[in-house]
Chain A
Amino acid sequence: MTIEAARLIGPGVDRVDGPLKVTGSAPYSSDFGYPHMAHAVLVRATVAAGRIRGIEATAAEAAPGVLAVITHRNAPQLGRGPDTPYWRQPPPPLQDDRIVHYGQYVGVVVAETAQQANAAARLIEVDYESAEPLLDLNDPRAELLTNPWGMDAHRGDVAAGLASAAATVDATYTTPDETNNPMGLFATVASWDGDSLTVHDSTQWPYSVRATLAATFGVPESRVRVLAPFVGGGFGAGLRVWPHVVLTVLAARTTGRPVKLVLTRPEMFTGIGHRTRTVQHIRLGADRSGQLTALEHEAKSSIAVEDDNYEPVAADSATAYACPNVDTRDLQARLNIPPPTSMRAPGEAQGNFALESALDELAYAVGVDPLELRLRNYAEDQQQLGLPWSSKALRACFEQGAERFGWSARNPRPGAMRDGNWLVGYGMAGVSFFWFQPPCQARASVRRDGTAFVRSAATDIGTGTYTVMTQLSAELLGLRLDQVEFRLGDTDLPMSPMAGGSGLTAALGSAIQAACRGVIQAFLDTADDPGSSLRGCRLDDVTVADGRIHRINEPARGEAYSEILARHGLDELTADGDSAPPKPEDVGMAPAGAFAARFVEVRVDPDLGLVRVARMVSAIDGGRILNEKTANSQIIGGTVGGIGMALLEETVTDPTGRIANANLGDYLVPVNADVPELEVLFVGEPDRFNPIGVKGVGEIGLVGIAAAIANAVFHATGRRIRSLPITVDQLL
């Protein structure tokens, strides 16, 4: 079977779930309810370290409507969820009297109404014996983990490379804690029926929720069903199975009632992860032409007590540019902080800021245009593996992006460009995003009415998975979009990995491709009868169009799906498909993530310290783009996050470990007025590492923005800001 050669950029069809969303009828987890459902409200620790000396809950227990008050004193022993290949699940809540971070759950109140539970929760008095919390990345008492993921890279001799350099950069960059802040408040609804459990959850990974709840409550996975047909955003916050999910299920088990729990916005700052702060030290050396002779990148990030987190910050610097002498080191300091998690482009968002800022500094040190410097150090191969990339159009990103932006009009001297009170600055950054593709399964059926039903337990957290997988299925089966029903978000469906790491589109798309090929094969097997013009055809002999399978180049010799099924008295034919990436050495190429070049113009008011982003061009190599519109939205959305990272976002922790700005009035994210016209170009070609040619674009939109803005601020003002966010006070 062949399909039409995939075009690079697929049609920007509207979201198939758009009407449900704009009419408010898409069911998010908080929209689910059950008869006799009770409501849970959490009680959180107000110290960051120590132990609970006592809890006074009598008044809460006696408050109107209260069904249960669960604390460590009466909670059952709970198991910890199984480790994933990427991280451990957070420890189960309410197991002892120790407090290891501010906001840790110390109780849950269940009542007839959410208001009653809330009122009762405020009556609970917890007496703490508090200890001095470890909160500073550089606190010498903090346990330091070295090379936590085995990803530290070493090649050549950095000391020699620096010694031979004509110009060097030696600088420290810092980034703050940031909070994912999806708009949808995370919610869990749990209902037990005997030993069977149904859970509606705000998650990016239903199978992981199922595995964790089964292990925690000691029931078989087959008795647990997790549903997440719609998730109100995640940005990584829904990747792990958080204690509030466990507590909702526990509350339901304790009270014998279905229970709903909706997090408050302040709880969203302590209970569902955050991007860790970093301190990064970079040393670069280059010869007179700007060719790198040494690159050293050491990054320290934070990690919670008894937890772990996947956040390689420095690792990607080893493969971003060609350099013979490279050292990258990642470190983690264990602190009394709420558990972190991946936030859109984990590690890479922070690491890219440091590396691409340092390269800009190097460009000025050598006297080479920042764009030219990057082109001179272009990594043709993946240097750690010594293999060619499965695809790489970063050069096209640089060249086409620069052309569209008008980079050549840039006067390189800082402060040279002006517009009234405003200084004008141009800045740019390159991005080489990491590759990730976990195993995945899907199932496809074609039914007697000529429609298809394709499904997998994936999630669509707003990215467009529903839409692009419907498009892909329709294309693979030769059907119209309205003939394809695509379902996700349910653990009764075939196994899917998380919507994370920009890996779902390749993983799920490849599994769907396999399932669709399988179902066409099943039709060929069935049609192997004298009545069929397809008799004897193999998969490679046929193609599909208009609900029919026909011989290649002979449209007349074929049959409709519905004809074959009717003739054989079948309702449908179904096939499973799975996908798993090959080993790079087996296929002789290094799998490539997306690449990008970001070009930005800022305006800086030097007297008032104001920075405003005036325009931006993003050139993206995302491999094959399944849907131009949803991919564009991914890049634009990520870019807005990048503007936030550059100029606004910072989760503030006070000396007690309390999050001091845990609301959307004090934690600033960009508003429309902060976001100019964002131009996005897709360049490159379909990737060779997976059969559908895609590279995920969920995260790359955010990466590089902070560095490009910081570099533009330097160009405008001559001030090098190495600490995010770039705020008024830093520029006065």
Chain B
Amino acid sequence: MRPFEYIRATDPALAVATVAGDPDADYLAGGTTQVDLMLKDGILSPGRLVDITRLPLQWIIADAAAIRVGATTTMEELAADPTVSGRVPFVRDALLRSASVQLRNMATIGGNLLQRTRCRYFRDPTVDACNKRRPGTGCAAVTGPARMHAILGASENCIALNASDLAVPLVALDAIVHILGPGGARSVPLTEFYLEPGDTPDVENVLVHGELITEIEIPLLPEGARSAYLKVRDRTSYEFALTSAGVAVVLEDKVIRDARIGLGGVGTVPWRAWDAERVLRNAPASDETFRAAAEAAVRDPFTVSGTAFKVELAKRTLVRALQTVTGATP
């Protein structure tokens, strides 16, 4: 571990100025991923860490249209919020199926959205080929045993998975990320926040160095909407998803009037299944509809031998989530 300077920030603008002005500086929030990457894996070695957990960024404010969540609100705090339970319950489901309660008490919402991939090749500095860590070196995961990897938005350049559960319902809800940077504040829809790896797997999102997430705005579902988050994993608890689906529907007389779908465990970014939503809209809530939506959701996957099973599993996961949420469970 390289020695680093630790700064406890008290003012957001000052924190931004400090990090923006030092290419070797980084933010530290809950640290549940970052400390692993620094101390255990040796992947990150910032010269300066700016701790933002004392910044006044810890709030949950609900109005008629949305919940606004300060970036350093913890996962457990958000999960316990009554508006979340009442109006976007699949956000709560996704949070409570994430990590462990110990980690959720430390991890922040902003940090969750910025969590790094669990790819075993990215996290081991002795592996040479990793385009995300060392651009241009290739991807060892494509030829190595890979299971917890992406099949959508992936290519031979990178199959690293975005493993966030929370981001799955949030992309489905069109959440908005509020950002403070050296040039001022801006907002980005979460669906446009993440960048598929393409030719630059090292660039994971739209943030430029020094920009700080300050708030996540979560639009509420309409009254009467139903939602569910289904997570499929080998271990019953405390594991990342093999596949997951966050679905919300508005149902009228067994016809789906509106649908929002996010998929987890499959994408290099949290995956919004736009095409599946189009299949569902104004279609009868039936197994045929659900299967058609699932086929539309998982189109043109990029698989390796260890991830091929996810194509079918992701479809079945979505079908099951839709069956559950529409009450059509067999």
Answer whether residue B40 sits at the interface, using C-beta atoms and an 8 A cutoff. yes
Quote the shortest CB–CB distance from A238 to chain B (angstroms).
Answer: 23
**Does B138 lie at the interface of the complex (its beta carbon under 8 Å from any beta carbon of A)?**
no
B120 touches A732 (CB 8 A): no
From B121, B235, B242, B329, residue with most partner A Cβ within 10 Å: B235
B206 contacts partner chain A, Cβ-Cβ < 8 Å: no
Q: Which of B59-67, B186-194, B310-318 contacts A (4 or more CB under 8 A)?
A: B310-318
- Residues in A with CB closer than 8 Å to B313 are 608-609, 728-729, 732
Question: In the complex, what residues of B have CB within 8 A of residue A609's CB?
Answer: 232, 313
Q: CB-CB < 8 A to B1: which residues of A?
A: 115, 118-119, 122
- B118 contacts A by Cβ under 8 Å: yes
A654-B145 in contact given A115-B1, A728-B309, A732-B309 (Cβ < 8 Å) = yes
B126, B143, B235, B320: the one contacting A655 at CB < 8 Å is: B143
Q: How near does chain B come to A719, taking the closest CB pair, in angstroms?
A: 14
> Across the interface, which residues of B come within 8 angstroms of A612, CB to CB?
236
CB closest residue in chain B, given A675: B236
Chain B's closest residue to A103 (CB) is B126
Which residues of chain A from 629 to 688 have any CB-CB distance to chain B below 8 Å in the complex? 647-648, 652-656, 658, 660-661, 663, 665-666, 668, 670-674
Contacts of B140 in A (CB 8 A): 654
Distance A529 CA – B61 CA, assembled complex (angstroms): 90
- Which residues in chain A, 686-732, are within 8 Å of chain B measured between CB atoms? 727-729, 732
**Residues of B205-244 whose CB lies within 8 A of A:** 232, 234-239, 242
> Which residues of the partner chain B approach A647 to less than 8 Å between Cβ atoms?
234
The residue in chain B whose Cβ has the minimal distance to the Cβ of A264 is: B40
* Neighbouring B residues of A648 by C-beta, 8 Å: 234-235
| A74 at interface, CB cutoff 8 A | no
CB neighbours (8 Å) of B2 from chain A are 119
**Shortest Cβ distance from residue B86 to the other chain A in the assembled complex, whole angstroms:** 26
* Interface flag for A610 (CB, 8 Å): yes
**Interface size class, chain B:** 20 to 34
Which residue in A608, A656, A673 is a CB contact (below 8 Å) of B232?
A608
> Do B234 and A652 touch (CB < 8 A)?
no
Nearest-neighbor residue (CB-CB) of A654 within chain B: B144
Interface centre among A609, A612, A648 (most CB of B within 10 A): A609
Instruction: Tell me, yes or no, whether B183 is within 8 Å of chain A by CB.
Output: no
B144 contacts across to A, CB distance below 8 A: 654-656, 660
Central interface residue in B121, B234, B313, B317, by most chain A CB within 10 Å: B234
Asked if B145 contacts A668 (CB within 8 A), the reply is no
Q: Does B284 contact A (CB under 8 A)?
A: no
Rounded to whole Å, the gap between the CB of A552 and the closest CB of chain B is 57
B111-145 vs A, Cβ < 8 Å mask (1 yes, 0 no): 00000001011001011000000000000100111
CA distance A610 to B238 in the complex (A): 16
Contact of A673 among B120, B143, B237, B320 (CB under 8 A): B237
CB pair B316–A607 under 8 Å, yes or no, is yes
Name which residue of chain B comes closest to A674, CB basis.
Answer: B236
**Which residues of B are found within 8 Å of A610, using beta-carbon distances?**
232
The reply to whether B42 and A122 contact each other, CB–CB distance below 8 Å, is yes
B84: interface (CB < 8 Å): no
| CA A122 to CA B40, docked complex, whole Å | 12
Q: Mark A259-286, 1 if CB is under 8 A from B, else 0.
A: 0000011000000000000000000000
Which residues from chain A contact B145 at a C-beta distance below 8 Å? 652-654, 660
Say whether chain B's binding surface is mostly helix, strand, loop, or mixed: loop
A46 beta carbon closer than 8 Å to chain B: yes
Mask for B1-13, Cβ within 8 A of A = 1, else 0? 1110000000000
Known interface pairs A728-B242, A728-B313; A666-B148 also in contact (CB < 8 Å): yes
**Residues in chain A near residue B309, CB distance under 8 A:** 728-729, 732
Tell me if B330 counts as interface (CB < 8 A to partner A): yes
Report how far A435 CA is from B258 CA in the complex, Å.
Answer: 66
A104 CA to B126 CA in the complex, in Å?
Answer: 14
Task: Indicate if A408 sits at the interface (CB-CB under 8 A).
Answer: no
Instruction: Identify the closest chain B residue to A729 (Cβ).
Output: B309
Task: For B148, give the chain A residue with the smallest CB separation.
Answer: A666
B164 to chain A, nearest CB (A): 15
Task: Across the interface, name the chain B residue whose C-beta is closest to A672.
Answer: B237
Q: How far is the CB of B242 from chain A (nearest CB, A)?
A: 6
Give the residues in chain A near B42, CB-CB below 8 Å: 122
What 1/0 mask marks residues of chain A from 532 to 547 whose CB sits below 8 Å from any chain B CB? 0000000000000000
Check if A421 is an interface residue, CB within 8 A of chain B.
Answer: yes
**Are A728 and B126 in contact (CB-based, < 8 A)?**
no
Q: Which residue from B40, B124, B235, B329 sits with its C-beta under 8 Å from A658? A: B124
Chain A residues whose CB sits within 8 angstroms of the CB of B127 once the complex forms: 658
Cα separation A672 to B126 with both chains bound (whole Å)? 33
Q: Is the CB of B143 within 8 A of A727?
A: no
Which chain A positions have C-beta within 8 A of B329?
421
**Chain A residues closer than 8 Å to B118, beta-carbon distance:** 665-666
A118–B3 Cα gap in the complex (Å)?
11
What is the CA–CA distance of A115 and B309 in the complex, to the nearest angstrom?
Answer: 42
Query: Once the chains are docked, how many angstroms separate the CA of A618 from the CA of B65?
Result: 56
A265 CA to B124 CA, complexed, in Å: 13
> Which residue of chain A has the shortest Cβ distance to B45 in the bound complex?
A122
Contact among A118, A607, A661 with B120 in the assembled complex (CB-CB below 8 Å)? A661
CB distance from B155 to the nearest CB of A (A): 20
Chain B residues closer than 8 Å to A727, beta-carbon distance: 234
The chain B residue with its CB closest to the CB of A115 is B1
Q: How far is the CB of B96 from chain A (nearest CB, A)?
A: 12
B15 CB, nearest partner CB in chain A, Å = 26
Q: Specify the chain A residue showing the minimal Cβ separation from B140.
A: A654
- The reply to whether B316 and A608 contact each other, CB–CB distance below 8 Å, is yes
Shortest Cβ distance from B308 into A: residue: A729
Contact partners of A655 in chain B: CB under 8 A: 143-144
Cβ A671 vs Cβ B235 within 8 A: yes
Looking at the complex, which one of B124, B232, B330 makes contact with A421 (CB distance below 8 Å)? Answer: B330
Residues of B within 8 A of A671 (CB): 235-238
A728 touches B236 (CB 8 A): no
Q: Which residues of B contact A660 (CB under 8 A)?
A: 120-121, 124, 144-145
B260 to chain A, nearest CB (A): 22
B7 to chain A, nearest CB (A): 19
Residue ID in chain A nearest B242 by CB atoms = A728
CA distance A710 to B319 in the complex (A): 27
Contact of B234 among A46, A122, A728 (CB under 8 A): A728
Q: Are A674 and B143 in contact (CB under 8 A)?
A: no
The interface residues of chain B lying within 8 Å CB-to-CB of A661 are: 120
Q: In the complex, which residues of chain A have a beta carbon less than 8 angstroms from the beta carbon of B319?
A: 607
Contact mask for chain B residues 289-330; partner A; CB cutoff 8 A; 1 contact, 0 none = 000000000000000000001001100110110000000011
Q: How far is the CA of A673 from the CA of B238 in the complex (A)?
A: 9
Q: Which residues of B contact A666 (CB under 8 A)?
A: 118, 120, 148
Task: Find out whether the CB atom of B312 lies under 8 angstroms from the CB atom of A732.
Answer: yes
Given A612-B236, A663-B40, A668-B234, output 14 extra A-B contacts at Cβ < 8 Å: A118-B1, A264-B40, A608-B232, A608-B313, A608-B316, A608-B317, A609-B232, A648-B234, A655-B144, A660-B144, A728-B309, A728-B313, A729-B309, A732-B313
| 28 A-B pairs (CB sep. < 8 Å) | A46-B126, A119-B1, A119-B3, A265-B40, A421-B329, A607-B316, A607-B319, A608-B232, A608-B313, A608-B316, A610-B232, A612-B236, A647-B234, A648-B235, A652-B145, A653-B145, A655-B144, A656-B144, A660-B120, A661-B120, A666-B120, A671-B235, A673-B238, A674-B236, A728-B234, A728-B242, A732-B313, A732-B316
4 tightest A-B CB contacts, nearest first: A729-B309, A673-B236, A673-B237, A46-B126
Residues of A within 8 A of B (CB): 46, 115, 118-119, 122, 264-265, 421, 607-610, 612, 647-648, 652-656, 658, 660-661, 663, 665-666, 668, 670-674, 727-729, 732
